[in-house]
Structure formats: C-alpha cells, structure tokens
Amino acid sequence: MADMPLVHAVNVTKSFGDNQVLKGIDMDVHKGEVVCFLGPSGSGKTTFLRCINQLETINGGRIWVDGELMGYADKGGVLHRLHDKEIARQRREIGMVFQRFNLFPHKTVLDNIIEAPVQVKGEKKAEVTVRAKELLERVGLADKPLAYPGQLSGGQQQRVAIARALAMRPKLMLFDEPTSALDPELVGEVLTVMRELAKEGMTMIVVTHEMAFARDVADRVVFMDGGVVVEQGDPKQVINNPQHERTQTFLRRMQSEHEQAVAAVADPLGLTQDS
C-alpha cells in the first residue's frame, strides 16, 4: 500500500555493554522519501542505520522494512531471532553505502559490481554485466570498468560503491556519511549521484554532515543526540530555524567548522592572517 511506511521502527533500543546508544527510536520512512539524519558523533545515527540493515542486533523494539519484521519472527507475541541465512535474505533487499568504500582491491570495478548479484542472488553473469555497465554510466564512470580501486580517486571509489549497492536492485538505500572520508573537492561528485537517485524516487536514509544536501534534497531532516530524536521536520525549518537548544548548538558548530574549512581552502597558507 502506497501510504504504508517502507521503514517502520517502534521503540528501538540498542546498547553496547552499559552504553545505551539508542533509547527508544520511533521512525517511519515512506516509499520515495529522502530522510537525512544529523547529529554529533555518538548520537546513535549510524547505529540506527545498522540496526535497520541488521548489521547490529536491536535489544528492544521492532523494525519492519516493506512490511517484513527485520531479524526476528513473531510467534504469538514472542520474538525469535532468525537464522543467519534468513537475515542475509532480508539484507540483500537493502543497499548500504559506508564511510569507507569497502571495495575488493584485487577485483576490477566491473567485478566488484557484479559480485553480489551473481554470488548472492544467483543471477546470470552476462545479464548482470550489462546492468553493471549501465550503472557505471549512471554514476559517471562508464570508462572505468576495467580499472582497479587503487587506480581511482576516493570520489570515484565511492561512486563505484553506490553502483555496487544499486546492482542488487534494493528497495531502500542507506548512506552512512558517504562523503566523510573524501577530500573536499571530491564530495560534490558523490552528492551529485545521490541527488539524481533522489530525483528518480529512490527511498534513502542518509546520515550526513552536508547541510546544503540535507536542506535541498531531503524531504525530512531528523536531528539525533544522546540516542534520541530531538527534533525533526521540514529541512529548511529544522536547519534554518531549529526549535531545540541542542539542535541550535550543533548547527552553530557545524556552521563555524564550515566557515573555517572554506577559509582554509581560500587561504591555505594563512597569508591573510594577522602576524
């Protein structure tokens, strides 16, 4: 049903030892929606993303993706953990792009992209190869199928990682700070690909510090801190006129860091500083 959320999370909790990282997260993400998560390091953003994809096991609550309970079977109100094979089946419906590119260094770009559809889904190599080349063109790397990751820039490697995730034909794409490991001049080429995916209607949950991307592309911005959702809503409202003090403090710090970075690029040797 079109009005049903693709992702439905209810009272999700997650702890690592005595450290409770998620403290009861409720979240719906609808098909075709782009939701950007903002917040300081340690606020729980990445952990929530990893819980959706079952890379982390939740301690409490429930998460459904496209109506299917993730990681568990509900038998009479009692949750039973699924076998690894079933969890892997659920996970292959979700694409995830990490901070680090995690490409196989000994495989070509093309082989990196076709690996999972062939090995995990059992698709025919010839058919997947055609799709992989189309995806490379889509991310602006049509001339790189035979290159190895070590021959590519960081931005190019991240675009390959996006193509690799798309090759599985996911119903949901998760991005965990996909530009944080890139040099500033390479960030734009990755964000351009993500903007195009959003225009095409891909459902996306993005953990990011790229405020302009969140403001311009997201349907909704969620600010997390201390394992809870502090504030969420229209991107321009949350970013330009945050209501909560914690959101205001975070955005002021982000703005200050951005201005410092811009100044450093404009004057790398600090020649305009007072002596």
- Give CA–CA dist 235/274, Å, rounded: 38
- Tell me, what's the pLDDT at 271? 62
In this structure, the strands spanning 78-81 and 72-75 are antiparallel
pTM: 0.90
Q: Any idea where the domains of the chain sit in the sequence? A: 103-170
pLDDT digits (tens, 9 = 90+) for 153-186: 999 999 999 999 999 999 999 999 999 888 888 8
Between helix 154-166 and helix 109-119 the angle, nearest 10°, is 20
Question: CA angle, corner 59, sides to 54 and 60, nearest 5?
Answer: 105
pLDDT digits (tens, 9 = 90+) for 87-124: 999 999 999 999 888 899 999 999 999 999 999 999 99
pLDDT digits (tens, 9 = 90+) for 228-266: 999 999 999 999 999 999 999 999 888 777 666 666 655
